[in-house]
C-alpha cells in the first residue's frame, strides 16, 4: 500500500470541492430551466445553505494547505455568476407579483 503524496491530496481535495460545486450548479440549473417558483423561500434557503457549506469546505481546504485560496475563490466566483444569472431571470418575473 502506498501513501498518497501531497500533490495527490491536493488534487483530490480540489476534485471533491468541484464535485460539490457542481451539485450546487445543478440546483441552479434546475431552477433556471423551470422558473416555476421564482421566489421560493425554501429553494433559496437550500441554496444559501449549500453555498455556505461549500465556502466552509473551501476555507478548511485552504487552511489545511490542500488548495490555493485563489482556486477556492474561483469555485465560489463561478457559482456566484450562475446565481446572478438566475436572479436576473427571476427578479423581472417577481416584480409583477
User: pLDDT tens digits, residue range 1-24?
Assistant: 678 899 999 999 999 999 999 999
Distance set, CA 49 to CA 42, 94, 97 (Å): 11, 22, 26
Pairwise CA distance, residues 53 & 31, whole Å = 20
In total, the chain counts a number of residues equal to 97
Q: What is the pLDDT of residue 35?
A: 65
| pLDDT value, residue 42 | 75
Mind listing the pLDDT tens digit for each residue in 21-65? 999 999 888 877 776 555 667 777 888 899 999 999 999 999 999
Contact 75, 35 (CB under 8 A): no
With 0.85 as the threshold, say if the pTM is over it.
no
Amino acid at each position: 500500500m502506498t501513501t498518497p503524496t501531497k500533490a495527490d491530496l491536493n488534487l483530490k481535495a480540489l476534485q471533491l470541492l468541484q464535485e460539490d460545486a457542481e451539485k450546487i450548479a445543478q440546483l441552479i440549473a434546475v431552477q433556471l430551466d423551470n422558473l416555476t417558483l421564482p421566489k421560493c423561500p425554501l429553494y433559496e434557503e437550500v441554496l444559501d445553505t449549500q453555498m455556505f457549506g461549500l465556502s466552509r469546505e473551501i476555507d478548511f481546504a485552504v487552511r489545511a494547505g490542500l488548495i490555493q485560496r485563489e482556486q477556492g475563490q474561483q469555485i465560489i466566483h463561478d457559482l456566484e455568476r450562475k446565481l446572478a444569472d438566475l436572479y436576473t431571470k427571476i427578479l423581472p418575473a417577481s416584480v409583477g407579483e
